[in-house]
Structure 1
Amino acid sequence: MVRRDLARFLRDRRERLRPGDVGLPDDERRRTPGLRREEVADLAHMSVDYYTRLEQARGPRPSPRILDALTGALRLDPAERIHLFHLAGTGPTPPAGPVRRVRPHVAELLHRIPGTAVIVTDATYDVVAWNPLAYALLGDLETQPNLARRRFLGGYHESSSSEEFGHVVVSRLRLAAQRYPHDEALARLLADLRAGSEEFTQIWDSDPVHDPGHRTKVVVHPRAGRLRLNCDVLVVPGDDQHVVFVTADPGSPSERALRHLVAAG
């Protein structure tokens, strides 16, 4: 039978979510907070009756497939997902894949720091959010959002610290491969990198270990020229994402070049 603490967790989580959190239109006329049961059931691709029985602690214990569906429907982060499986009395299966959506408060942060290029990368080095200066600095992030592909397969601005960045990228991708063994997009990325870059394969086989932190790199930008930039990383552990802040030393030629990129739009 469904445990009462699991039923309580599902109900509480549903009531905390807003329609806008899951891509539904906000309705100010709602009589109760949060999502409706039928909305969660639809997002999880299950019947309303089945989901209702889960919240009422009736019916059989949910399977891992059902728990994964509820993870997506209720927008649970990795820690909450593990807790959900624990409440259901079963061990968590590997996550289906990295979190590729950006929390609203993280997205808003990108536009609060003037003169700073900010991006958010997921566990596979896809850039999943950016501000205008980052777009001007890094180029077309919509056509080629993956920094690992840019670094090893071309399309990324040349950098004097590109060797170090290559080790950082491979270290993070090795962790992603362990955490998301069933993610097809990650598997394709790793296969393409191995097939297209001998350097990637050599670094991969060396099993590098790099933690996110402060780094300085020199980037040759097609319009702004040679830029000496500081990169600082804020980890979003619940989503396995990195927020990367790119700045230049105050008063330096690189800072003036960044200001010109901002002014140019």
Structure 2
Amino acid sequence: MICHISTDYYSRLERERGPHPSEQMIASIAQGLHLSLPERDHLFRLAGHNPPPRGAGSEHVSPGLLRIIDRLDDTPAEIVTELGETLRQTPLGVALTGDTTRYVGPARSIGYRWFTDPATRSLYHPDDHALHSRVFASGLRAMVTLRGPGSRAAHLMELLLARSAEFRAVWDEHEIGIHYNGVKRYAHPEVGALELTCQILLDPDQSHRLLVYTAAPGSESHEKLRLLSVLGPQRTTSPET
């Protein structure tokens, strides 16, 4: 189940009776088994494939981050790439924001969705929309500078410059280092207004971030998170190409 393949298919692989596994299948098995990067690379070579590149472009989540997020079932949390692409979510994370792992193409990046899909903004307090725009543009500028021309960050920049007048206006401000004040305000369709503190744990080898959202004990937002855990991930998010 955690490898997203059937028991029958996995059993046939173990008996060397199944079809030769694709690179995508090997990546799924490696992630499901919580392999380290050296173990993942060895598995790829055993299957006759070249291992995927390591670093910022990798989507292989480290076993350490997986062990942490697996123990956060009662907390909204997610693992994201440096471009804001969600790789893993806790159940309460899905209940908070919807399943953001379902997106494909450039829409996997929340920064891209922010400027191209108006529905993305409905989850956040209207007074904070301008700050979100500045944060996303500033963060993307830093990534474009860090990764250089031809990078995935540069490709996202080019797409947004072509598709969003607002992004072009914010981009022209040349801001860098814009951050949130530690609190994010949500307008959740089921439980209403939420104020959550975001704590970040960075995996420097993979440039992945574990984002954990909490509310002050005894606060109204804390009680609403408890209610949300009961309601569960009822909302769905439509994938965008």
What's the TM-score, normalizing by structure 2? 0.66
Kindly indicate whether the alpha-carbon contact (under 8 Å) linking 2:73 and 2:90 is maintained by their aligned counterparts in 1: no
1:192 to 159, 168, 172: 159
Unaligned stretches of 5+ in structure 2?
Answer: 1-25, 32-38, 233-241
Amino acid at match of 1:218: R
CA distance in 2, matches of 1:256, 1:262: 10
Structure 1 residues 10-55: Cα deviation after superposition (integer angstroms, max 9, x where no partner): xxxxxxxxxx888469xxxxxxx998699269222xxxxxxxxxxx
- Kindly tell me: are residues 202 and 38 of structure 1, through their superposed partners in 2, closer, same or farther at Cα, counting changes over 3 Å? closer
What's the TM-score, normalizing by structure 1? 0.61
**1:105 and 2:59 aligned:** no
Kindly indicate whether the alpha-carbon contact (under 8 Å) linking 1:214 and 1:231 is maintained by their aligned counterparts in 2: no
Higher RCO (CA < 8 A, seq sep 6+) = 2
Kindly indicate whether the alpha-carbon contact (under 8 Å) linking 1:167 and 1:210 is maintained by their aligned counterparts in 2: no
Kindly indicate whether the alpha-carbon contact (under 8 Å) linking 1:122 and 1:242 is maintained by their aligned counterparts in 2: yes
Match of 1:116 in 2: 75
Structure 1 residues 175-204: Cα deviation after superposition (integer angstroms, max 9, x where no partner): 322315334x54553233223322222222
Structure 1 residues 85-120: Cα deviation after superposition (integer angstroms, max 9, x where no partner): xxxxxxxxxxxx622221122122113235421111
Residues 75-154 of structure 1 correspond to what in structure 2 (within 5 A)? 76=54, 78=55, 98-141=57-100, 142-143=102-103, 145-153=108-116, 154=118
Cα shift at 1:250: 1.0
Amino acid at match of 1:112: R
1:165 to 121, 132, 139: 132
- Kindly tell me: are residues 124 and 38 of structure 1, through their superposed partners in 2, closer, same or farther at Cα, counting changes over 3 Å? closer
Q: Percent identity?
A: 25
CA distance in 2, matches of 1:164, 1:189: 20
RMSD, matched Cα: 3.3
**1:216 and 2:180 aligned:** no
Considering only CA atoms, is the larger Rg found in Structure 1 or Structure 2?
1
Kindly indicate whether the alpha-carbon contact (under 8 Å) linking 2:78 and 2:210 is maintained by their aligned counterparts in 1: yes
CA distance in 2, matches of 1:193, 1:34: 34
Cα shift at 1:212: 6.3
Unaligned stretches of 5+ in structure 1?
Answer: 1-19, 26-32, 45-71, 79-96
- Kindly tell me: are residues 41 and 170 of structure 1, through their superposed partners in 2, closer, same or farther at Cα, counting changes over 3 Å? same
Match of 1:155 in 2: 119
Structure 1 stretches of 4+ moved >6 Å: 33-38
**1:42 and 2:48 aligned:** yes
